[in-house]
Amino acid sequence: MRILAVAVLFAAIALPAAADEPVITLKPGPGLDKVEANCAACHSLDYIQMNSPFLNAGGWNAEVTKMIKAFGAPIGDADAKAIADYLAKNYGT
């Protein structure tokens, strides 16, 4: 019973914060499904929009590689290429 009460308390605190979270809609295109499935698993997709003024194709490729090698994102080579291509085409400088 005590655990349930604590869980309800935490939910009551967290729900208003989650309600203010904006919905991020990325540009449609090939690879978007891979971006949404892989990138959003670890962080908000607004990082893509925030970084788009600064990254070209090489920069996006480096970011995808960093997420895999440094942060351990479980993304295969084919998906990594599709993600980097999507980001470069739709959010590159």
Q: Residue 30 sits in a domain of what CATH number? A: 1.10.760.10
Q: Tell whether 7 is covered by a domain.
A: no
**Neighbouring C-beta atoms of residue 71, cutoff 10 Å:** 9
pLDDT at 13: 64
Of 54, 66, 22, nearest in space to 83 by CA: 66
Q: What is the pTM of this model?
A: 0.76
Domain containing residue 81? 23-91
Total domain count, the chain: 1
For the chain, the distance separating the N- and C-terminal CA atoms, rounded to the nearest angstrom, is 55
pLDDT at 73: 96
Band (pLDDT 50/70/90 cuts) for residue 22 is: confident
Question: Which residue type occupies 19?
Answer: A
pLDDT (tens digit per residue) in 51-80: 889 999 999 999 999 999 999 999 999 999
- Are residues 62 and 38 in contact, defined by beta-carbon separation less than 8 angstroms? no
